[in-house]
């Protein structure tokens, strides 16, 4: 099987169990991260935010719980961006035609990402100010 599945029947990918399923799921996850990093500027920007904020969070004189919040919230924003990109890809796969439901789906994904970014700012402000 190639690293990129472009067409075919996805049912052949189902049914693995145990460690094989875990290894394949891990491989697919790594492929998804790679694809997002190579193709999505917003994802790369969030990676940069994490590269900056994670070491700062580790160096701050805050409680362990506060440090965990400062480190986890930016990571959650990465996860939200992956889901937002997945929604956009599925909508585009279904149809490139302009449609109110397609717009709603993409706008809601974008709104979720906006909330994720607000969470980063709020967490840092609450803990540091």
Please list the active-site residues. Answer: 81
Whether 6 has a binding-site annotation, put simply, is no
Nearest CA to 89 out of 47, 48, 45, 39 is that of: 39
Whether 34 has a binding-site annotation, put simply, is no
Show Cβ contacts of residue 87 under 8 Å, excluding neighbours closer than 6 positions.
105, 106, 108, 109
The three-state secondary structure class of 107 is: helix
Contact between 82 and 31 under an 8 Å Cβ cutoff? The reply is no
Whether 61 has a binding-site annotation, put simply, is no
Whether 16 has a binding-site annotation, put simply, is no
Whether 110 has a binding-site annotation, put simply, is yes
Whether 99 has a binding-site annotation, put simply, is yes
Round to whole Å and give the CA distance between 52 and 59.
12
User: Which residue ranges make up the annotated binding site for ATP?
Assistant: 21, 28, 40, 88, 97-99, 106-107
What residue numbers does the annotated binding site cover? 21, 28, 40, 67, 81, 88, 97-99, 106-107, 110
Q: Provide the annotated binding site for substrate.
A: 21, 67, 81, 110
Annotated binding site for a divalent metal cation: 40, 88
């Amino acid at each position: 099987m190639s690293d990129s599945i472009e067409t075919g029947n996805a049912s052949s990918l189902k049914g693995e169990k145990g460690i094989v399923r875990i290894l394949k799921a891990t491989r697919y996850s790594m492929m998804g991260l790679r694809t997002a990093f190579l193709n999505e500027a917003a994802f790369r920007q969030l990676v940069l935010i994490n590269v900056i904020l994670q070491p700062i969070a580790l160096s701050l004189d805050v409680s362990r719980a506060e440090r965990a919040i400062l480190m986890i919230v930016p990571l959650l924003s990465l996860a939200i961006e992956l889901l937002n990109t997945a929604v956009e890809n599925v909508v585009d796969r279904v149809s490139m035609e302009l449609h109110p439901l397609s717009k709603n789906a993409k706008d809601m994904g974008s709104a979720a990402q906006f909330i994720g970014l607000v969470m980063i700012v709020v967490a840092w402000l609450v803990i540091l100010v």
